[in-house]
Amino acid sequence: MKYITKSVWILSLVSLFTDTASEMLYPIMPIYLKSIGFSIVLIGILEGVAEATAGLSKGYFGKLSDNSGKRVPFVQIGYAFSAISKPMMAIFIYPLWIFFARTIDRFGKGIRTGARDAILSGEATAENKGKVFGFHRSMDTLGAVIGPSLALIYLYYFPQNYKTLFFIAFIPGLLAVLASFLLKDKRKNIVNQKVATPFFSFINYWKESQTEYKKLVVGLLAFTLFNSSDVFLLLKAKQAGLADTMVIGVYIFYNLIYALFAFPIGILADKVGLKKILIIGLLLFSIVYFGMSVNTNLYLFFGLFFLYGIYASATEGISKAWISNITDKKDTATAIGTFSGFQSICTMLASSLAGLIWFQFGATLTFLITAIATIIVIVYILTIPKPKTLKNE
């Protein structure tokens, strides 16, 4: 475990605390918003604006981090924004205030993502990046197990008392911010370049980036365009007859599998290759969506969500590890931020597309289209060369 350095541990704990706070609110967010007068349409607009904010800001702040040579301030400010947004959601219930609070949360994610992943990349070598990113994903996703579990326990004793839960969620959020102050920038990273950074400057990086980076990101974004929100999987489970508590239970189960397998799969990826593991993950995703298109057996849903957890373990951290292996260290935050930014926008489009297809033609066709599109993406990724170690690594 030598490769899990102090900085990796701190970042992983920060992510665990933050995800605990965020996922504590995930199951009750739509219910809470409806209770204060938000329509389904308004909820959709709120989430769309929030995701667009996160998407556009990831690329910009990734570039800004690379230009300044600093990482830690972006991480600290980003997590602080997400923490303070939790109680803000409960203080006032005016729609404009709710929009502001939710946008602050996603803006925080945009500020920290590129810099955080650049720190993780800097703490690893090309030979152990799967392990480092996998460990971080395991700890991060453990928060998605703890958070909803705490929410279920709380709501069992205090049903419909949603506002207090937002204040409780501030506690792990605050712990995340405090933990982030244990991080320190490495001196060699602090270059203090006096370079202007326009908001859309990360688009220039796309134009100037290596062909290998472009090929990989195009494949990953094509997949993202068909990879809609997990809400659709939960909706399918609910439609098949699972009770509300069972739907939340299967979501917790999926995150538990994700958390348990992300680190071991990262270790395996370093041995057999990032590309192989990514392709296996996408194959599992396709199997899950083919299964979801026809399944009505309540018990089989747990099997499908088990495979879905393995898929997430084999793709989320692995894709970022691959990207960081084929880009210059000085551009790591920009490269990952640019990818994450476009990914957020594609996710928003994917969910809108899935919702439209579901509404017009039903769940079966929605899942079938996604499964078939994923097979096409796999064929495309097979044509991309294996990631090579850069000389500056």
What does 221-289 look like in DSSP terms, one character per residue?
A: HHHHTT---THHHHHHHHHTT--HHHHHHHHHHHHHHHHHHHHHHHHHHHHH-HHHHHHHHHHHHHHHH
At 56 the pLDDT is: 79
Cα–Cα distance between 118 and 324 in angstroms, integer?
Answer: 8
Indicate if the alpha-carbon torsion angle 313, 113, 11, 129 is positive or negative: positive
**Angle formed by the axes of helices 95-122 and 316-325, to 10°?**
50
At 52 the pLDDT is: 76
Helix (H, G, I), strand (E, B) or coil at 73: helix
In the 8-state DSSP scheme, what is residue 161?
A: -
Cα–Cα distance between 254 and 309 in angstroms, integer?
Answer: 5
At 196 the pLDDT is: 57
Q: Which residues make Cβ contacts (< 8 Å) with residue 156, sequence separation at least 6? A: none
Which residue reads 């712990």 in tokens? 175
Q: Distance from CA of residue 254 to its chain's centroid?
A: 14
At 162 the pLDDT is: 84
Across the chain, how many H-helices and E-strands are there?
16, 0
Q: Which residues make Cβ contacts (< 8 Å) with residue 133, sequence separation at least 6? A: 117, 120, 124, 266, 317, 318, 320, 321
- Report the 3 state secondary structure along 191-217: CCCCCCCCCCCHHHHHHHCCHHHHHHH
Cα–Cα distance between 266 and 274 in angstroms, integer?
Answer: 8
Ordered by where they begin, the domains of the chain are 6-181+202-382 (1.20.1250.20)
Helix (H, G, I), strand (E, B) or coil at 155: helix
User: What does each of the 393 residues of the chain score in pLDDT, given as a tens digit?
Assistant: 677 899 999 999 999 999 999 988 877 777 788 788 877 667 767 777 777 777 778 888 888 888 888 899 999 999 999 999 999 988 888 888 988 998 899 899 989 988 999 999 888 887 888 899 999 999 999 999 999 899 888 888 888 788 899 999 999 999 999 999 999 987 654 444 555 566 666 677 788 888 899 999 999 999 999 988 787 888 788 787 877 778 778 888 999 999 999 999 999 999 999 999 999 999 999 999 999 998 878 788 899 999 999 999 999 889 999 998 888 888 888 888 888 888 888 887 887 888 888 888 888 999 999 999 999 999 999 999 876 654 444
Contact indicator for 62, 333 with CB cutoff of 8 Å: yes
